[in-house]
Structure 1
Amino acid sequence: MKLRPTKGFTLVELLVVIAIIGVLVGLLLPAVQAAREAARRMSCSNNFKQIGLGIHNYHSAYNQLPLHGSGTYVVGGRDLWDQPSPTSPTATGTSNHRLSMMVGVVPFLEQQALWEQISNPLAINSDGSTKSPPWQSMGPRPDERNYLPYVTELATLRCPSDPGSGLPSLGRTNYVACTGDSSYRSRDPYLNVNEKSDDASVTFPYTPNAGTANHSNAAHRGMFVLTRNVKFRDTLDGLSNTVMCGEIATDLGDKDARTSMPTSGGVGVTGERQNCHLNPSFMEATLDPLRPQFWIATVGTNSNWGRGYHWYDVMPIYGQVHTILGPNSPLCTDAGGGAGHGDLVATVSSRHQGGAHVLMGDGAVKFITDSIEAGDKTNPMVYLTGSAATKNQVGAQSPYGLWGALGSRASREVIDGEF
């Protein structure tokens, strides 16, 4: 009996099939990555919606927005934002009015247990050891790593596309308050006392300073104003036309110009008011010409002052965005090494492609593209002694186009299209 030969694949046919499979996998991988990023972006948007809902619930309960700049303060210093020396007896005794609006929202994000830790004396350290005497209610200085709430990271405050984690940051956040279209004196509260630079003879306890309040009234035009009780009714331009919070990318220690700042140089207060364009040579000398999103390798950055490193901290580098420079623009600071606790032009940024999310006053989440119309970025920002000649007098419409108009709450600007 004659046997038929067994049928099978030749080596050439197997190689062809493997090649076809390889090509198909190569074609599918970008689609899979795009689908994953779309899912992460949707999750990020949902987180922001939860925060918006929490802010609205807070307003329903207390008839005002959560205070941006709350907490206790040091009696005996002259600058509300100054932190005492780590060896000072008051070093761990106060949060120094530096708690962001996120602290007030915490119980409305289903984090009642964390709120109880913050609002009451806490007799435990972040490593589980006993603290005696206990931390005082509303917490210690904002960079205290032994305080458990400060090192607690909340999933609702993190964008899934942002990989940042671990020290030197404490609890990170990708969502911060919008303080408007002017960053002048962006670390100064609405009702501050005489500052160190203004009056060295101030006495205590704290008393309101009309000069600081005037500066704040002129420049701080966002939905959140430091230490000021703001209500939805103050947003005369309409809640659906005003940015309440913005997304930020957290610093990864890679000299990203959107998330870190040089430790030397700076453009001074005047340069900061002009968004660093008064001194373009500073930016040209520090940004990598081949990768303009990054500082050049020889520029040092302070690893402790990364963007988004403290979810609970009101300072500009940690807890503010401004609608001045377009999304994903480099940070602009007035004074290099001290920039972590100084004024800062800081816009929205993200690890998404082409833009970043914002939370509008009505709770809607929008994706703002990098190409949004942002007016004249060389125009000085609105502040107390601005002038009509330079279009930055008190009460002026935002010089930063549609993007700036979205940041100011009551400048009578009309938003006449989708964005």
Structure 2
Amino acid sequence: MSLRERFEAAFMPNYGVPPVALARGEGCTVWDADGNAYLDLIGGIAVSSLGHAHPALVEAVSRQVATIAHTSNLFLHEPEVLLAERLIGLLGGQGRVFFANSGTEANECAFKLALKHGKANGRTYFVAAENGFHGRTIGALSLTGKAAIRDQFGPFPVDVRFVPYGDADALKNAVTDECAAVFLEPTQGEAGVVPPPDGYFAAAREICTAAGALLVADEIQSAIGRTGHWFAHQHEGVLPDVLTLAKGLGGGLPIGACVGFGPAATIFAKGDHGSTFGGNPVSAAAALAVLDTIEADGLLEHVRTVGAEFAAGLAAVGHPLLGGVRGRGLWLALVLTADRSAQVQQAAQRAGFLVNALQPDAVRLAPPLIITSEQAAAFTAALPAILDEASA
């Protein structure tokens, strides 16, 4: 029985059966169980910031797991304190941190903060964006504006009003003094790497400030250098009230973070929230290695440079199936002129590249931040033939 057949027999069917069984990785290359090599342009869904088997990550995790791997939240340990201090430093020296294990848990923390803020101030509803994605637990799903994954699990415990993403006027009309919080992604990830118009996030900041609502920035995918800045909200110089992080922070180890600023930093009282594994020593050590390496190796500038080259090269590919490229840094989407993303993903795999059919007409590229210009150019050169095959 093959590994894929064993997977199908042993697991719940929510993922289907993934098309490739990966066995190992090094840098931006992964190999499947049959020994076939692929250039990884997914990065574990924007997670593998340093690629695979990066020496700094391997050393940090190995050292920490051999020292102490778990403490629970009944005790503190230095790696979690160092990591919280490091994040606060990257955010201008302000904020307080809660560590979780994933993006949806970070958003659950933000949701509870906003609920407590709302109850204390007579605020009864939330605002989020159509097609936004904040996670699959019930609280995070309440804020997720994708009917296909949301509706079958309702009704939800709170009133959430959805507005078109990028429409500042619609947002302003929706946010009153009865709104507890607005949840937004600086760029919508699961919707297809959809950036907002320039100034939208700054307008959201002004709208929330005027109404007394919390602005929550969901940067689960967009942070930790993915767009060429530590955090995507920094592109507009806007500070939210609450920031959520995960994915790329751990470089492959599970970690999430919720950061509160100003009054939002101290909404929780003792016992209001917790996580047994959140901020565990091994994940904290991994995250510190990621942040140290991004800084030491100049990866923010690298992301800006290689990302711009990659986007320009892809946009220059003349093919009837390719309508354009959108995104920022090393977080891009190939926008197709027909609903053929699944076929593009399959053709790319056969050509030795792993990409993600994100929407029927959009293919996500979120490679490790260490990808070279030459590796990016290899995919660009292969893309016309991949699109030809996908169009057949």
Q: TM-score under structure 2 normalisation?
A: 0.26
Bigger strand share = 2
Larger Rg: 1
Q: Higher helix fraction: Structure 1 or Structure 2?
A: 2
**TM-score, with normalisation over the residues of structure 1?**
0.25
